[in-house]
Structure 1
Amino acid sequence: MATKKPVVLGLAVGGLGLLVAAALTMPQVVDWYQGRHLAEAEYSSGSEAKKSRDSVPRWLPDEATAVKYRMSTTGGDRLLKATLADGKLPAGCKQGAGSGRAHLRADWFPKGTDKEGTAACGAYNVVLKGTDLYAWQDHADWVKAKQAGSDAP
């Protein structure tokens, strides 16, 4: 019987070690899994962004600068940041917050911004902070726009 205690203790310590290792690596595995369905790019202008990628919204002004764009490749979730020289909403955008929340994250998209939406541009929710436009699209809003026949990506 004396030999069972070290074996049981060894198994317990080993099992605990495996649990700790799993807890430490799980966030990286989740990030990897989610990240493999994302595309991100930066563009010098709105015109360049729209020429490069069909999914960039057509309402983005051609003269917008410092465009950053992140998208899900398996759905309609999107993030967008652009600088607008005049700091005004693009043509066709309407005042009034939309319904969707941002499901993507990016270091250039301030946390909590998706709770500040003050306008809608196509299926995107938008907030202006000075001359910076932050926009996000929720997958569910994207699906609704597609079903309604909207030409907005």
Structure 2
Amino acid sequence: MKGIVSKVALGVAGTGMAVAVVAVAIGPRVSDWYDGRHQEQASYESGTQAKAERRSMPTWLPDNASGVKYLMSTTGDDRLLRATLPEGRLPVGCSAGLPGRSAHPVPMALKAGWFPQGVAAKATGTCGHYNVTLTGNQLYAWQDGAAVQAALRAEHVTKR
């Protein structure tokens, strides 16, 4: 009887180890899958089309912007935006200069192949709650959901 108990214990331990190995091996894939399910990505030919088709598109995006790419979190306010601006200057209503506290110096929650890594360190201005950088006529804009919520709470407190 003692031999059978030992074999059963070894079998259970071996099964537990196998489950742990499988969990470690597929864990990152499941996480990527889960994160990806809470994101929406779209491309638009123009700023006009982007604003007409997506309510969350920032109003400061010029109508004549082209090659618009957009990635948003559906569970928060994280956003990435890329657009070509024919004038090669910040849109009306945007401010040049280093962003304030809402700058996102750490890796962003969202990632897209069309949005360069490290661009947050090159922020040159703000457009609404977005931090932006302009390289030639290519605009990169990003919004950190936590910073947006903090700013909205601060605005609400100030209005009281």
- TM-score bucket of the superposed structures, by smaller chain: 0.7 to 0.9
Contact 1:123 1:145 in 2 (8 A): no
Q: What's the CA shift for 1:90?
A: 1.1
Alignment of 1:63-102 (within 5 A): 63-98=64-99, 99-101=102-104, 102=108
Aligned to 2:155: 148
Contact 1:44 1:65 in 2 (8 A): yes
Q: What's the CA shift for 1:26?
A: 1.2
Structure 2 distance, partners of 1:123, 1:145, is 10
- Describe the shift of the 1:146–1:53 C-alpha distance in structure 2 as closer, same or farther (beyond 3 A): farther
Q: CA RMSD in A?
A: 2.0
Structure 2 distance, partners of 1:146, 1:40, is 27
Aligned to 2:22: 21
Structure 2 distance, partners of 1:146, 1:59, is 22
- Report Cα offsets for 1:38-93 as digits up to 9, x if no partner: 11110001110001111111111111111001111222111101111232111111
How many residues are aligned here?
149
Greater per-residue helix proportion: 2
- Describe the shift of the 1:33–1:125 C-alpha distance in structure 2 as closer, same or farther (beyond 3 A): same
Contact 1:59 1:91 in 2 (8 A): yes
Q: Which amino acid aligns with 2:51?
A: K
Aligned to 1:53: 54
117, 121, 126: which is aligned to 1:120?
126
TM-score, with normalisation over the residues of structure 1?
0.85
- Report Cα offsets for 1:96-125 as digits up to 9, x if no partner: 232232321112111121222111011100
Unaligned runs of 5+ in 2: none
SS of 1:148's partner is helix
Q: Which amino acid aligns with 1:100?
A: A
Q: What's the CA shift for 1:2?
A: 4.3
Structure 2 distance, partners of 1:75, 1:13, is 41
* Identity rate, percent: 48
Aligned to 2:11: 10
